[in-house]
Structure 1
Amino acid sequence: MKALRSPTGATGYGVARISPFFSKSMWNEGFTIIGSPSHDAKKLWPDDYQQFCETMEKYEKQMRRIADRLAEMMMEVLEISEKKRKWVGASDVSAALQLNFYPTCPEPNRAMGLAPHTDTSIFTILKAKSSGLQILKEGKWIPVHPHPNTLIVHTGDFLRIMSNARFCSPTHRVVPNENDERYSIAYFYSPPTDYVVSPSVTGDLNSVARFRDVTVKEFIGIKAQKFGESLSFIST
Structure 2
Amino acid sequence: MSTMNEIYESHLYPSDRIVPVDFEAVRTAPESYVWPKSDVFSSGEQSSVPVIDLMDPNATEHIRQALETWGVFQLLNHGISSSLIEEVENEIRRLFALPAQQKLKVLRSTHGSTGYGLPRIAKNFSQHLWHEGFTVMGSPVDHARKLWPHDYERFCDVMENYQKAMKGLAERLIRLIFLSLGICDEEIRWLGSSDDSGSNNITAALQLNSYPPCPDPDDGQVMGLGPHTDTSLITILRQGDINGLEIFKDGVGWILVPPLAGAFVVNLGDLFQILSNARFRSVIHRAVVNGTRQRYSFAYFYDPPMDFVLSPFCNGLNSGQAPRYRSMTVKDYISVKFNNFMTALSSIEI
Task: Check whether TM > 0.5.
Answer: yes
- Report the AA paired with residue 335 of structure 2: G
List per-residue Cα deviations over 1:58-95 (Å, max 9, x = no partner). Answer: 11111111011111112222233433311111211110
Of stretches 77-86 and 134-143 in structure 1, the one that deviates more from structure 2 is 77-86
Higher CA-based Rg: 2
Equivalences for residues 86-165 of structure 1 within 5 A: 86-90=189-193, 91-108=200-217, 109-129=220-240, 130-139=242-251, 140-165=253-278
Q: Quick one: distance in 1 between partners of 2:192 and 2:171?
A: 6
Counterpart amino acid of 2:130? Answer: W
Deviation of the 1:110 alpha carbon: 1.9
Counterpart in 2 of 1:230? Answer: 344
Q: Tell me what 1:211 maps to.
A: 325
**Residue-pair matches, total:** 236
Corresponding residue SS for 1:124: strand
Match of 2:130 in 1: 27
SS at match of 1:158: helix
Q: Please show how residues 43-82 of structure 1 align to structure 2 within 5 Å.
A: 43-82=146-185
Q: 1:206 to 1:163 in 2, by over 3 A?
A: farther
Q: Does the 8 Å CA contact 1:79/1:200 hold for their aligned counterparts?
A: no
CA contact (8 A) 1:13 1:30 kept: yes
SS of the residue corresponding to residue 116 of structure 2 reads strand
- Once structures 1 and 2 are overlaid, which stretch shifts more, 184-193 or 42-51? 42-51
Q: In the alignment, is residue 220 of structure 1 matched against residue 331 of structure 2?
A: no
4+ residue segments displaced more than 4 Å: 203-206
Distance in 1 between residues matched to 2:347 and 2:318, nearest whole Å: 25
Equivalent residue in structure 2 for 1:37, among 123, 140, 151: 140
Q: Name the SS for the 1:83 alignment partner.
A: helix
Identity of aligned residues (%): 47
Aligned to 2:296: 183
User: 2:116 — aligned with what?
Assistant: 13
| Superposition deviation, residue 205 in structure 1 | 6.1
Judging changes above 3 Å, is the alpha-carbon distance between structure 1 residues 162 and 105 closer, same or farther for their aligned structure 2 residues?
same
Deviations 1:119-155 (A, max 9, x none): 0011100001121000001251000001111111011
Amino acid across the alignment from 2:123: P
CA contact (8 A) 1:210 1:235 kept: yes
Residue type of the alignment partner of 2:153: Q
List alignment gaps of at least 5 residues for structure 1: none
What TM-score, normalized by structure 1, do the two folds share?
A: 0.96
* Structure 1 SS opposite 2:281: coil
CA distance in 2, matches of 1:196, 1:184: 31
Q: Within the alignment, does 1:171 sit opposite 2:280 as a pair? A: no
Distance 1:74 1:204 in 2: 14
State whether residues 164 and 206 of structure 1, in contact with CA within 8 Å, keep that contact through their aligned partners in structure 2: no
